[in-house]
Every structure is written in C-alpha cells, then in structure tokens.
Amino acid sequence: MEPVYSSVIGVAKGLFAAQGLRFTLIGDENVPRTGGAVMVVNHTGYFDFAYAGLAAQKSGRLVRFMAKDGVFSHPVGGPLMRGMKHIPVDRSAGADSYSAALGALRGGEVVGVFPEATISRSFELKEFKTGAARLAAEAGVPIVPVVIWGSQRVWSKGLPRRLGRTNVPIVLTIGEPIPVAADAHPEQVTAEYKAVMAGLLDLAREAYEPMTGADLRYLPASLGGTAPTLAEATRLDAAEAEQRRAQRSAESPGS
C-alpha cells in the first residue's frame, strides 16, 4: 500500500463513519485483481471519486482517477492528488492527460474515468464521452462499469452541502469487466457500456430506500422527483459553460 494513498483512505473512511454514511457494495469482486482496467463511473455528486475508490478495495486495487487540473492546484488537495498518482485533465489540451492515462493502464493500473465529464444535475446518465473506450482499446484492457446512487444527497451541483451526520445510504454497483477489442469502434463501445450502466442504475434505484419530502430534489423527474429533467439539465449546463467562456474572454488580455 502506498503511504499517501493509504493515509487518505484512512482519513476518508473516518469521515464517512462520522457522517454515518451507509455503503452497500454489490459486485465489487468484479474489479480485476491484476492488470490494467478502465473503471467508468457515473457522476451525481462532488465526492463520487472518493466513494468510487471503495469499489476496488475488495480486490486490493488503487484507482488512479482522471480529474480536472484545477484540483491539482489546490494548496492542500493538489499535493495529495499527485501523491495518489491521480491524473490531471486539462480540457483545453487533453493529449497529455490521455497519454498519462494510457501509460498507467499499460503499467497495469486501474484508471478511473467519469465519462459524463461533469455532474449530472438530473441524476440521469448524461451523454458519454468516448475517451474511456479509446483508452481501453489502445491499452488492451477491459472496461469496468461502476454506478453510484445516493451520493447526490451528500453534495451535488446547485444543492446545499450536507456534511454532518446524515446517515445517507450510498449504493455502489460494479458490473463485470467488458472486454474491448483493439479495433473496436469507440462510439459503439461507449453505447454498449452505457447501456450496462443504465441497467445497473435501474437496479440500484429499485433497491434504494424511498425518497420523500425535501429529498425529492435528489430524485430524477422521471421517477417522480423534483430534479431537473435531462433536457432541462442540459440547457443549464450549456448556459453555465457559455457564462464561463464569456468570463474567460472578458479576463483575457486585450479583450
């Protein structure tokens, strides 16, 4: 076990216990005990990367997550992220992060990817990027689908943080590894594993405790909740992205 990663895991588990978070892991034996793999995870909350790492604990693996490079510039979080050998992603220049992830996979690591790229405000599966499929094909490793349900009740986009003792249940469902051929079409592979994740998500939701009252904000509109629909969430994401672009343009020299 690596000292930085093992220390962070210990602290995180202590925090989870203090919050009363109740984890249920289903299928965690599906994470390969050796060799490279791309772990693909849905994204509904800010702590998903911390929770998703638990999926690999039974297999004794450490997941190297691909994360926004801004996290690595944080004075506290940055050194920890680098110490755990996570992979920074610069969205304006993704070649370096892709190369780093490919090298890690070929070195036998498990690399964690959030194919939706950003948090889903609707708590439904958003459009998936094809990067995970391309990595798996080029590295010659399988894709391991992981679905998290319940993390949105701790802290999600546009919703208040609930970092006290909430006793929130969180379900992680891990599917069987999906082999990816070297000549596989990235779009087809992505569609196939997304369909698997959709099935795992349905199962997790069916087994989850009912949400009522104020907690309906954490439930998709399609299931009777008050979260934005997928279409509404997509419009909100587009408006937010445009606002960020306008802000960068206004701050750039000579604008």
Q: Which pLDDT value is given to residue 124?
A: 98
- Tell me the three-class secondary structure of the chain, residue by residue: CCHHHHHHHHHHHHHHHHHCCEEEEECHHHCCCCCCEEEEECCCCCCHHHHHHHHHCCCCCCEEEEEEHHHHHCCCHHHHHHHCCCEEECCCCCHHHHHHHHHHHHCCCEEEECCCCCCCCCCCCCCCCCHHHHHHHHHCCCEEEEEEECHHHCCCCCCCCCCCCCCCEEEEEECCCECCCCCCCHHHHHHHHHHHHHHHHHHHHHHCCCCCHHHHHHCCHHHCCCCCCHHHHHHHHHHHHHHHHHHHHHHCCCC
The pTM of this model reads 0.95
Per-residue model confidence as pLDDT tens digits over 23-65: 999 999 999 999 999 999 999 999 999 999 999 999 999 999 9
Per-residue model confidence as pLDDT tens digits over 178-195: 999 999 999 999 999 999
Per-residue model confidence as pLDDT tens digits over 55-82: 999 999 999 999 988 889 888 889 999 9
User: For the chain, which domains are there?
Assistant: 3-227 (3.40.1130.10)
Q: Which pLDDT value is given to residue 201?
A: 98
